[in-house]
Amino acid sequence: MLQRDYILEIVGQFVDGVGEALRRALGGDAGACEDVESQVAELLELDRVTALSLAPDSLVTMMVLSGMGDTVAAYVCYALDRLSRVYEARGED
């Protein structure tokens, strides 16, 4: 029960942080994209540069090792998908 409550709290904080940063990014705030990246990295207990340099299968492995596994995979995928769309709209790779 405690682990479930902990995971729900972590996921809630992640969703709130990513949602706010994505809204700012869509509004043109250049630093907001880094905030989304940092939220993903923090969830995986990595620094931002390391997290973003991982291949997709390695990113999944880190999610499993973080103890969150399937619980957060969908949220991380959603955040990274939305972030990629922001970068694409800006003409960035």
Confidence of residue 49 (pLDDT cuts 50, 70, 90): very high
Per the structure, how many domains does the chain have? 1
* DSSP secondary structure letter of residue 87: H
The range of the structural domain enclosing residue 24 comes to 2-90
Confidence of residue 43 (pLDDT cuts 50, 70, 90): confident
* DSSP secondary structure letter of residue 46: S
- pLDDT of res. 8: 84
Q: What is the pTM of this model?
A: 0.83
* 92: pLDDT strictly greater than 80: yes
Q: What residues contact 4, with CB distance under 8 A and at least 6 apart?
A: none
- pLDDT of res. 13: 93
Integer Cα distance of 67 and 55 in angstroms: 19
Q: What is the mean pLDDT of the chain?
A: 87
